[in-house]
Amino acid sequence: MIYLFCSASRPLYKRDILESTCYPEGHLFRFRYERKYVDAEILKKPKSFEDKEGAIVFLDTVGEEGHKNFDFFPIRKIRTVRLFPLGLAIYIDFRFGGFIDYGPEDNDTRKISWSRFFEDLLNRPWPPPEISGRTEDTDEGYFAMSYSEDNPEFPCEIKIAHETWENMIRRLDKANDLKDSTFFKILGFYEMKKKWFVGSHSEVPIKSKDNSYDTIYPLPMGKSVILKLLFSRPSYETKNPQSRRVLKVKLAAESFAGASKDVLLSDSRYNEERIVVVCKRVFDSVFSMISIEQEEEPADVQAPKPFLLTWIQVPKSIIGVVILGVVLTTLLLGCDAELIKLLGTWLSPNHAQFFEEKAKILCSLAKASAAIPVGISAYLAFRRFPLK
């Protein structure tokens, strides 16, 4: 199993750990580690650690000044995609898995067991010597390491929706380095659909796609979709105005006509947000970004800043309708009396005499009706395409 450790010692690292609690399962992400912080076994054969199960572990700084240590918080499962050295660093691409279940808030049995396991690991991460006070060994250990023996269980049980995530957030909210952070979870994009074109509407999740490098969320052209977010602020102070947070939803104007709200307020302990996003009509499929970030964020990072790569697609059905209309129109215009006779004899031999006598009339009717299929296909297509 491969372990990726991440502290909050720098704004970039803190943002990484907050975003690790934010993205949905299956989303692709990347960590970068300086080589000296990477397990020698991984550096030796990075490709052998691809497609391996692992876990992201948050390192909270604890202890008295001059004797600092790390407390270990496993966050979520991952599966590695690729590992490659570049310059003085190694890059690790991975896919997010399920959130690790800590169990009820009043039961820290799992947390204590996991912390002991990581504390006993050889070459486990340490804070820098200047704050840890370690003089006998100034090595800070490995922040990306593998371990193959007696790994603990990291359950990702889902008994009640989002319960596992909320139990984990309650622990992180008490950590020294993440206290007073804004935590939210992206539940994904949803499309309103009717079952069998009748009855009431229901919200159907839109599955993401990827090319093993980027996670892409395909959105339907000319329709509205719903982006759902779940917020959790366990230590939110109702009477403290500074505890209120404002987050901005940013959309690309060339791809989206607008959203039901572009400002999100984190002003309670728990709430769910539903953002209706209207996709523009486009002539060609386009990539676009949706980002969520906190307004007036201080130097000390407080919130995730996720970016969602969307792909607004021209439906294949539109192209099919246009092609079918053109083909039918061409066939109808190409009809002549001899073709009518041949088709009539072949399709209905018992009525061959009828087609022989009425061939010219049927030919004229076919040519007169040639405008119908192309007209229908044009209407169905251009009612979905932009008119300017």
Residue 373 and residue 350 share a domain: yes
- Residues 347 and 295 occupy one common structural domain: no
Question: Whole domain around residue 119: which residue ranges?
Answer: 1-178
Among residues 144, 178, 212, which one ends one of the domains?
178
Residue 10 lies in a domain: yes
- The pLDDT of residue 384 is 60
163 and 174 assigned to the same domain: yes
Tell me, what's the pLDDT at 356?
Answer: 78
For residue 185, being part of any structural domain is answered with yes
What's residue 190's pLDDT?
A: 95
Domain count, the chain: 3
Choose one of 178, 199, 230: the last residue of a domain: 178
Q: Domain check: are 41 and 135 in the same one? A: yes
- Phi/psi at 31 (5° precision): -115, 145
Please give the single-letter amino acid code of residue 359. Answer: A
Q: Are residues 174 and 161 part of one domain?
A: yes
Residue 103 region, left (φ>0) first, then alpha (ψ -120 to 50), else beta? left
Q: Which of 141, 120, 117 has its CA nearest to residue 55?
A: 117
Nearest to 363 by CA among 340, 344, 343, 345: 340
Does residue 228 sit within a domain?
Answer: yes
**pLDDT value of residue 93:** 97
| 357 and 367 together in one domain | yes
Per residue in 33-63, pLDDT tens?
999 999 999 999 999 999 999 999 999 999 9
Residues 6+ away with beta carbon under 8 Å from 18: 178, 181, 183, 301, 303, 304
pLDDT tens for each residue of the chain, 388 residues long: 999 999 999 999 999 999 999 999 999 999 999 999 999 999 999 999 999 999 999 999 999 988 999 999 999 999 999 999 999 999 999 999 999 999 988 899 999 999 999 999 999 999 998 888 887 777 899 999 998 888 999 998 777 889 999 999 999 999 999 988 999 999 999 998 877 666 677 889 999 999 889 999 999 888 899 999 999 999 888 888 888 899 999 998 888 988 999 999 888 889 899 999 998 877 777 899 999 999 988 888 999 999 999 998 877 777 777 788 888 888 888 888 887 777 777 777 777 778 777 788 888 888 888 888 888 777 766 666 554 4
In this structure, is residue 388 part of a structural domain?
A: no
CA distance 276 to 281: 16
> 53 and 195 share a domain?
no
- In this structure, are 235 and 309 located in the same domain? yes
Give strand pairing partners of 5. 57
d(CA 220, CA 300): 38
The separation between CA 293 and the C-alpha centre of its own chain, rounded to angstroms, equals 16
Whether residue 356 lies inside any domain: the answer is yes
Residue at 339 is within a domain = yes
- In the chain, what's the furthest Cα-to-Cα distance? 108
Shared domain for 258 and 119, answered yes or no, is: no
Kindly state whether residues 243 and 174 are assigned to the same domain.
no
Looking at the structure, tell me whether residues 13 and 64 fall in a common domain: yes
pTM passes above 0.75: yes
How far apart (Å, rounded) are the C-alpha atoms in residues 28 and 212? 8
CATH number at residue 200: 2.60.40.10
Please indicate, yes or no, if residue 387 is contained in any of the structural domains: no
> Does residue 191 share a domain with residue 152?
no
Cβ atoms of 386 and 282 within 8 Å: the answer is yes
Q: Is residue 13 domain-resident? A: yes
**Residue 289: C-alpha distances to residues 40, 226, 250, 313, 345 (Å):** 37, 15, 8, 14, 59
Task: Show which of 120, 144, 178 is a domain's final residue.
Answer: 178
At residue 25, the pLDDT reads 95
